Amino acid sequence: SVAIKAAKAPVQRRPDYRGARGRIQQQLWTAMRSLGAFRLVELALCASTEEYPVKPRTAEEYVRRLTNAGVLHAVVPYKRAGNGRGVGAQAGVWRLKKSADTGPLAPKVFSASIVFDANRAAIVGQAEVSQ
């Protein structure tokens, strides 16, 4: 027999386990598919449930990653304020690309900086590398 020494035991979860991050991504995806065009605050509000509220910052990160992957189209580009007080900021408007609406399962954004389309079982767009 072979002894394997590991720092941590493998993670085993129940078959029905879905973490908060996955649930929130699913809620955002469902809202995107039904809204047509949307702003971040509107998306966060529509995607929120009592059990899993969605913060606008969470919606912003998911939208940014899906936009970079080519899943969403920026109808009105988002512009941050340069002075830190909100002056000059412009709310963006996004729309889900028809070709990217592959089904009801949300694209999964991993911390490894990839977007995974669960409906096609494929990576969408380019992997993002942080330095």
DSSP labels, 38-62: E-HHHHHHHH--SSS---HHHHHHH
Strand order of the β-sheet with 72-76 is 37-38, 93-96, 72-76
d(CA 48, CA 79): 24
Position of tokens 């039904």?
34
Answer whether 0.85 is exceeded by the pTM.
Answer: no
- SS3 label, residue 100: helix
Q: Which residue has the tokens 């969403």?
A: 72
How many whole angstroms separate alpha carbon 100 and alpha carbon 32? 11
What's the pLDDT tens digit per position in 43-65? 999 999 999 999 999 999 999 99
Q: Which has the higher per-residue pLDDT, 102 or 110?
A: 102
For the sheet with 108-109, list strands across it: 108-109, 115-117, 122-124
Per-residue model confidence as pLDDT tens digits over 65-103: 999 999 999 999 877 666 666 555 567 899 999 999 999
Q: Provide the sign of the torsion angle of the four alpha carbons 106, 111, 116, 118, taken in this order.
A: negative
